[in-house]
Chain A
Amino acid sequence: MALGSSDRPRTLAPGASGPGSNLTVKPAGAVEVPENTILTTADAVVNWCRKYSLWPMPFATACCGIELMAVGASRFDIARFGAEVMRFSPRQCDLMIVAGRVAMKMMPVLQRIWLQMPEPKWCISMGACASSGGVFDTYAVVQGIDRFMPVDVYIPGCPPRPEQILRALMDLQAKIQKGGSLFGTGLPEMDERQKFLEEKRHAPAGHALSQERGDEDRFGYRLPGGPARLGVEETR
């Protein structure tokens, strides 16, 4: 009898005498579960939910953005992978897709939008320009966003084909499925974050993260009402 099937005694037709007809075999040590029931861990379920409900933040600054639009349209249809809910507010997103070159005037904006996204979050660096600066090796173009912010998946190409974007999404889904535990330290990407928060737990109020970072005022993005006065507990 196959593993996982019912262990109820079967009602045999009269006269039937199949091999092992009244015999129920239980593998040693296996947990008995009812029919149509599977056992798994909460981590796997949560990761499974996360990987099929990515909400992308399309940070499209150049021609890669056109390909990104094509992925969202019906021919390639990113909805097949559960990532069709493009949101244009970083507060509602958990997947940053940087599509296109990032000028040095835009880099603080990109960093600020990344900081505004809630955890857990991931980042795809799409195309040659976002990954390495591409052909724009000039004073004004950042030579790869991974110099200044974390990146999970890189996509080569100039611009990449829509299939490559779907491939990157599948790779990221595999990464999300593999990583993370709900009640442990969180996602492996967030280990550093946990360590950082432990260090700052007893920091006095007025030392909010944005103030310690010190870069947010550089281009006039000071929050209305002055810098944040919240302690670390309020910013979690």
Chain B
Amino acid sequence: MSTTTEPHASTLATLSKVFGDGVFTTSLFRDNLRLFVPASRLIDLLTVLKDRCGFGLLAELGATDYLGYPGRTRSRFDVHYVLRNLETAERLVVKVGAADPDPLLPSAVPLWPGADWMEREVFDMFGIRFHGHPDLRRILMPDEFTAYPLRKDYPLRGRGERHNFPRLTRGES
């Protein structure tokens, strides 16, 4: 386990050469280097990471709801992209915030087609829309489901959706 940014030296050099200062901030948690970027520059950063730094695999795409999180000052949602360089086994996490009313982010499907279903899952569970996604539908919940279940203000037991079915009796079946 490394506790420095030393394994990411060439990546960070490329990024600072392209973007300079002020586009993203970095932090280190355990052995993960994380880049925080505003949504307006997200696709630029991901494009450079894919095309010039060799991150060919989008290993994971997910979201977090920080509603009521202690000490949280940034936007309510965070969407994270876990990238993997298959040549050097380097791993990088890109995090981007999404604000509460109608969270909207650019889609990563043009870069990594594997982001298709992962973005649909994030949309299904958190209601974060991805602009430019080819087919943004629910993927886990039924189509007529209206809520976003993994949001922190959604009750664990739901709002009665699980019991909204006709009752079959012996007479009718």
Q: A104-B162, A149-B173 are in contact. Are A114 and B142 (CB under 8 A)?
A: no
CB-based contact A150/B162 at 8 Å: no
Smallest CB-CB separation from A112: which chain B residue?
B168
In the complex the two chains form, is A139's CB within 8 Å of B156's CB?
A: yes
A130 CB-CB contact with B under 8 Å: no
Whether the pair A218, B168 counts as a contact (CB closer than 8 A) is no
Instruction: Tell me whether B168 and A114 are in contact (CB under 8 A).
Output: yes
Are B172 and A213 in contact, with the CB atoms below 8 A? yes
Interface positions of A from 122 to 168, Cβ below 8 Å from B? 137-143, 147-150
Tell me the minimal C-beta distance from B39 to chain A in angstroms.
Answer: 29
Does A105 sit within 8 A of B, measured CB to CB?
yes
Alpha-carbon distance A111/B172, docked complex (angstroms): 11
Chain B residues closer than 8 Å to A114, beta-carbon distance: 168, 173
Q: A184 to B161, alpha carbons, bound, how many Å? A: 41
Contact B144 A218 (CB under 8 A): yes
CA distance A140 to B156 in the complex (A): 9
The one of A107, A148, A189, A213 in contact with B170, judged by C-beta atoms closer than 8 angstroms, is A189
Q: Which of B156, B157, B165 contacts A148 (CB 8 A)?
A: B165
B158 contacts A by Cβ under 8 Å: yes
Are B141 and A105 in contact, with the CB atoms below 8 A? yes
Stretch binding the partner chain, chosen from A8-16, A54-62, A174-182, A190-198: A190-198
Please count how many residues in chain B sit with their CB below 8 Å of the partner chain's CB atoms: 23
Q: CA–CA, A214 to B149, complex, Å?
A: 27
CB distance from B168 to the nearest CB of A (A): 5
Q: Are A141 and B162 in contact (CB under 8 A)?
A: yes
A228 within 8 A of B: no
CB of A188, distance to nearest CB on chain B (Å): 9
Quick check: is B113 within 8 A (CB to CB) of the other chain?
A: no
The distance from the CB of B100 to the nearest CB of chain A, in whole angstroms, is: 21
A63 to B53, CA, bound (A): 45
The chain B residue sitting closest to A190, CB to CB, is B170
Check B171 for interface membership: any CB of A closer than 8 A. Answer: yes
**Interchain CA distance A34-B159 in the complex, whole Å:** 69
Q: Which of B157, B158, B165, B171 contacts A107 (CB 8 A)?
A: B165
Contact (Cβ within 8 A) B162 A142: yes
Other-chain residue from A104, A149, A191, A195 in contact with B142 (beta carbon distance below 8 A): A104
Q: Are A192 and B170 in contact (CB under 8 A)?
A: yes
Q: B-contacting residues of A (Cβ < 8 Å)?
A: 104-105, 107-108, 111, 114-115, 137-143, 147-150, 189-193, 195-196, 209, 213-215, 218-219
Q: List 7 A-B residue pairs with CB atoms under 8 Å apart, sorted by A's residue number.
A: A115-B173, A140-B149, A142-B165, A143-B162, A147-B165, A149-B167, A215-B166
